[in-house]
Amino acid sequence: MEDEKIVALYWARNPDAIARTDEKYAPYCRAVARNILGSPEDAEECVNDTWLGAWNAIPPQKPVVLKPFLAKLTRRISFNRWRRQSAQKRGGGEIDAVLDELKDCVARDGDPEGEAIAAALGQTIRQFVRQLPPRECDLFVRRYFYTESVAAAAKHCGLTENHAGVILSRTRQRLRAHLCKEGFLHE
């Protein structure tokens, strides 16, 4: 079923919207959640929470394309679960490695200026990623948005794991330099 028809079901408050969303996007959303959490059971729970989140968000939102909308919901729910589990010393998944790789690109002092700085930082990172060559962009997004393993992202991009690691390292260095230039980090 086309996304616009599924969204119309949500707007009509038709419970079939969830069934159609599950049919079309469950494997994709499970993969996103599993990459973050490392557990198929936790991933399944997050996907179910994603359907509830979509039900509560549509309306008022009216996404044109459901895949990125659902990916964002799934990521948010999965990261929240990961944080709870980490607080309980039960971590897992690719997220530990991803956060470790990005630690030098994120300010260590937290977010003292509040949500305005976070929003500006997000916009700056999005602009940086959009200017990357297509293969680097795909690799970066797969690794740091979808939290795929380096091996899985490399395979998808037709690269060796080592080559992908080098590209990611150089891209992180360029991101750090860009964030310094924009005033988000200090050298």
pLDDT tens per residue, range 116-136: 677 778 888 889 999 999 999
Q: Does domain 96-181 fall into CATH 1.20.1050.10?
A: no
Mean pLDDT of the chain: 86
Reading the block at residue 135, the tokens are 């293969």
Q: How far is CA 101 from the centre of its chain?
A: 15
Q: Which residue, 114, 49, 106, is CA-closest to 77?
A: 49
Same CATH topology for 3-87 and 96-181? no
Dist CA 44 CA 114 (whole Å): 33
Between 138 and 114, the more confident residue is 138
Domain assignments of the chain as residue spans, ordered by start: 3-87, 96-181
Q: Which CATH class is domain 3-87?
A: mainly alpha
**Among 21-25, 77-81, 92-96, which is the least confidently predicted range?**
92-96
Dist CA 140 CA 129 (whole Å): 8
